[in-house]
Amino acid sequence: MISYLYCDIISNMSTNTLLRSNFTEEEILEQLDIAFQGIPSEYYPAGEKGDIKYNSFLDLEHGYFATAGNRIHLYADTNRWAIVFEKNGYANRAGDAEIELDYVGNCIDYPVDKFPGQNYITNSSLISLITGEEYERIRNKSGLDMEQFELIDPNADHVIVRDRKVPIEHDENKYTSLGIFPRDYDNPRHLVSFEGLVRYISETEPLIVNATGNDIMPYLPADLPEILTIDKFHFESSYNADDFPSNQETYQLVAKVLVARDPGLWKPKEVANNHWSNWESGHL
């Protein structure tokens, strides 16, 4: 599914000099390649001596993050453009479920974490979905010791997701019908796992765990038009260091859409494969 959002001035006027973008496909692809390599962009704030800068790219195979949903959001006007990569899932190292947003563009208000003597400048924002405390509340604490690690109490009837009370489904068949299988070790009763719960909610009620406009916009200009949200696309491993985004159809089309500010140009030929089930994640 694709969500189309047209800016009235664009949809009602033919292409002319006034509507041409002052940025190019080449610039966009270059910035994507830089983020792919983890190199801070020229658009990053200068910062202070000793500051540490991170530039992250969408990663559906991260060992510390069991991916559930993921999308790409595109924003642009004649002078400014932004790509926001979104994924949600269970962050096994942090012990919570969260949304990760990674920003690439020429108008990002980059997040800065300030500490005495050193700042961390990044293109990423994290939003908590299920806190570690909430997971601890619903964690299985009975039976065999082996069943008490990242597994949910079979009697837990709800989980709080962003202040919303969401029923917990325990029927194994409903999970397996979606490709979500019980953990195959230390789980003789086939209890629901922490990551399995997030994936189930993402599959059955995605709006509960998807990022909202209010989640995304704090680091973008408030008047920057949204052009397109893509939830199905062809993804290639972030761990193939030679496979730059600029060589991939997905990002070539993303660049075309942004420059033309025309969501109708999103016409991929490659098969969408960004569903979490196609990628190994959350397993160290």
Predicted TM-score of the model (pTM): 0.92
Please give the pLDDT value at position 144.
81
If phi over 0 gives left and psi between -120 and 50 gives alpha, with beta otherwise, what is residue 105? left
Non-local (6+) Cβ contacts of 258 within 8 A are 21, 23, 25, 28, 74, 76, 81, 83, 227
Q: What is the pLDDT along the chain (284 residues), one digit of tens a residue?
A: 444 443 333 333 333 334 789 999 999 999 999 999 999 999 999 888 889 999 999 999 999 999 999 999 999 999 999 999 999 999 999 999 999 999 999 999 999 998 888 899 999 999 999 999 999 999 999 988 889 999 999 999 999 999 999 999 999 999 999 999 999 999 999 999 999 999 999 999 999 999 999 999 999 999 999 999 999 999 999 999 999 999 999 999 999 999 999 999 999 999 999 999 999 999 87
Q: 244-268 pLDDT, tens per residue?
A: 999 999 999 999 999 999 999 999 9
Please give the pLDDT value at position 48.
85
Please give the pLDDT value at position 10.
35
Cα separations (Å) of 108 from 208, 211, 222? 26, 17, 11
Please give the pLDDT value at position 5.
43
